[in-house]
């Protein structure tokens, strides 16, 4: 799906969706163009090559949805790959939403396979306030990137709630599904860290002014703010990772102690049963002449001896504080 936002010198912003009109308007060098391509087809990408003369390698990257965040400089435009993030409906998995952006002198082209909140938000803002587009394509990219990074914070807030809830449950109920929850949360944290790491590097390049004149020195200051946000997100994720590791270690320790207590009880029972088994084994031998077998009180005496042995061993264990 193609959509073109056209900002003209008179301050008006037009939304163009018809393919023929888009082909005509993208040649307008006096206007600022934002072409948004969602769920691109091969024909859409051919249009980008024809109208903007984008490099085939950059076009190929747009069609590959697992591209690592990066920035490439071409003759008259920049190609930047960033990743938004979203949680699955059950909030048990983090997925990446790739955003490919071309930034030129009078145009910005965004390409993405799925809807991205930051792009939709920037589009709405530009339609309501066209003056945003008057600041140029690089500033529009900053607006999109800033919104993209801001959308990580609701995910962090959800993670914080889930971690706190799991931490409270895990020491009340030692069910195995709680361990699965911890491991699942840890996987989400590690996935988000993989998204954030490379993007910090890219934004730091832009904040240092390494890509002038496309990203001007004045605009580089704005990217420092995004760099600070990414640093906060990264530090928060590191904190979550450490918390989850500590919870898992604590759960393992509690479970191990509980298992040791069970094994101690079973060992004591087995130890008490050993001499009793010896006594019953002796009197269970199939000999014809065993004096106690014909004695009237033999059964009660043996039973008393067995109870005495068991009781004595229990007192001994208690004296040693093994019970």
Shared domain for 60 and 198, answered yes or no, is yes
Shared domain for 187 and 42, answered yes or no, is yes
The pLDDT tens digits for 60-101 are 888 887 778 899 999 889 999 999 998 888 778 888 899 999
- Site of tokens 């069970």: 262
What pLDDT score does 64 carry?
80
Q: How many distinct helices (H) and strands (E) make up the chain?
A: 10, 7
Nearest of 187, 22, 29, 199 to residue 106 by alpha carbon: 29
Measured in whole angstroms, how far is the alpha carbon of residue 78 from the centre of its chain? 29
What pLDDT score does 88 carry?
83
What pLDDT score does 199 carry?
92
The pLDDT tens digits for 193-238 are 988 989 999 999 888 888 888 788 888 899 999 999 999 999 999 9
Burial of 286 (C-beta count, 10 Å sphere; 0-12/13-18/19+): exposed
Shared domain for 291 and 158, answered yes or no, is no
Residue 195 belongs to domain with CATH number:
3.30.460.20
**Does residue 260 fall inside a structural domain?**
no
Q: Is the pLDDT of residue 170 over 90?
A: no
CB 79 within 8 Å of CB 102? yes
Shared domain for 147 and 54, answered yes or no, is yes
Q: Is the pLDDT of residue 312 over 90?
A: no
CB 119 within 8 Å of CB 144? yes
What pLDDT score does 148 carry?
93
Domains of the chain: total? 2
What pLDDT score does 75 carry?
86
The pLDDT tens digits for 153-165 are 999 999 999 888 8
The pLDDT tens digits for 243-273 are 998 888 888 887 787 888 888 888 888 888 8
In whole angstroms, what is the distance from residue 174 CA to residue 189 CA? 23
Question: What percent of the chain lies above the pLDDT cut of 90?
Answer: 26
Per-residue pLDDT, averaged over 134-141, amounts to: 89
């Amino acid at each position: 799906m193609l959509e073109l936002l056209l900002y003209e010198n008179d301050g008006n912003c037009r939304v163009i969706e018809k393919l023929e009109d888009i082909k005509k308007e993208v040649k307008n060098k006096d206007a600022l163009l934002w072409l948004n391509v969602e769920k691109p087809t091969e024909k859409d990408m051919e249009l980008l090559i024809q109208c903007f003369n984008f490099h085939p390698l950059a076009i190929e990257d747009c069609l590959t949805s697992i591209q690592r965040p990066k920035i490439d400089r071409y003759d008259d435009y920049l190609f930047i790959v960033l990743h938004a993030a979203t949680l699955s409906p059950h909030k048990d998995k983090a997925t990446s939403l790739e955003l490919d952006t071309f930034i030129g002198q009078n145009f910005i082209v965004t390409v993405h396979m799925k809807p991205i909140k930051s792009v939709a938000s920037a589009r709405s803002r530009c339609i309501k306030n066209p003056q945003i587009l008057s600041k140029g394509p690089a500033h529009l990219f900053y607006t999109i990137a800033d919104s993209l990074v801001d959308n990580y914070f609701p995910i962090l807030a959800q993670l914080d709630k889930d971690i706190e809830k799991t931490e409270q449950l895990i020491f009340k109920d030692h069910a195995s599904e709680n361990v699965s929850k911890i491991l699942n949360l840890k996987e989400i944290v590690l996935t988000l860290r993989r998204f954030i790491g490379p993007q910090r590097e890219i934004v730091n390049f832009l904040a240092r002014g390494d890509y002038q004149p496309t990203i001007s020195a004045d605009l580089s200051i704005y990217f420092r703010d995004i760099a600070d946000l990414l640093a906060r997100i990264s530090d928060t994720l590191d904190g979550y990772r450490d918390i989850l590791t500590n919870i898992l270690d604590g759960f393992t320790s509690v479970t191990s102690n509980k298992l040791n207590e069970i094994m101690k009880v079973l060992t004591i029972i087995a130890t008490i049963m050993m001499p009793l088994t010896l006594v019953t084994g002796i009197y269970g031998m199939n000999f014809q002449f065993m004096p106690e077998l014909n004695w009237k009180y033999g059964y009660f005496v043996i039973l008393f001896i067995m109870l005495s042995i068991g009781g004595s061993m229990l007192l001994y264990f208690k004296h040693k504080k093994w019970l």
